[in-house]
Amino acid sequence: MIPDDRKPGRRVRRALSADEHALWSRVTQSIAPLRKAPLLRDPEPEEPQPERAKPPVPSSSSPAPVPRAAPPPRAPALAPFDRRLKQRLARGREALDGTIDLHGLTQAQAHVALVRFLRAARAGDARMVLVITGKGARGEDFAAGRGVLRRQVPLWLNSNELRDYVIGFDAAHAAHGGDGALYVRVRRRRE
């Protein structure tokens, strides 16, 4: 039985016998510390250090320090497309307010055309537009750098430059071009 003053599950320490105590003393005398403890010294009196020159007090004729400008406001995060919106677009229940085809354009030309198109779409109160990038070449040509616009346009849409025009984007349905096109939600103008 467990005595009333002990809690169950707790071990009671037993005292060392005389032989165990002698053995423990010999063991502790035979060991050396891994590192020497730092010697305690009497603190040495500190040498007086030369006084540092105090910064000059600005006179009333000097200009006041210019406060730093606040950082520009962060661009709003892109909103993901929900499944129902993509279904409505694919079935034709949600209208596309504009389409741009970037086939055959260089990166520079495509970037300028995309920015111009999104500005015009926003000015015209468009809500949803289709950006056709093309799928790029297949096979060996794809590995050689084809399909550049397919890779670049999502990066451009996600950039801070276009964040004021774009709420979000997602791959288009097969009926609208599949992997070679993007649905883009256009942000409304702030009044």
What is the per-residue pLDDT across 89-102, written as a single tens digit (0 to 9) for each?
A: 888 888 888 999 98
**Residue 66 or 30, more confident:** 30
Domain ranges of the chain: 83-102+112-146+153-186
Q: pTM for the full model?
A: 0.56
CATH code assigned to 83-102+112-146+153-186: 3.30.1370.110
Please choose, from the candidates 180, 153, 185, 152, the residue with its C-alpha nearest in 3D space to the C-alpha of residue 167: 185
- Tokens of residue 60, six digits: 């009333």
Averaged pLDDT, 135-149: 65
Task: Check pLDDT > 70 for residue 37.
Answer: no
- Tokens of residue 61, six digits: 């004729």
**Residue 22 or 64, more confident:** 22
Averaged pLDDT, 132-159: 76
pLDDT confidence of residue 143: 53
pLDDT confidence of residue 81: 76
Phi and psi angles of residue 137, each rounded to the nearest 5 degrees, phi first:
-75, 160
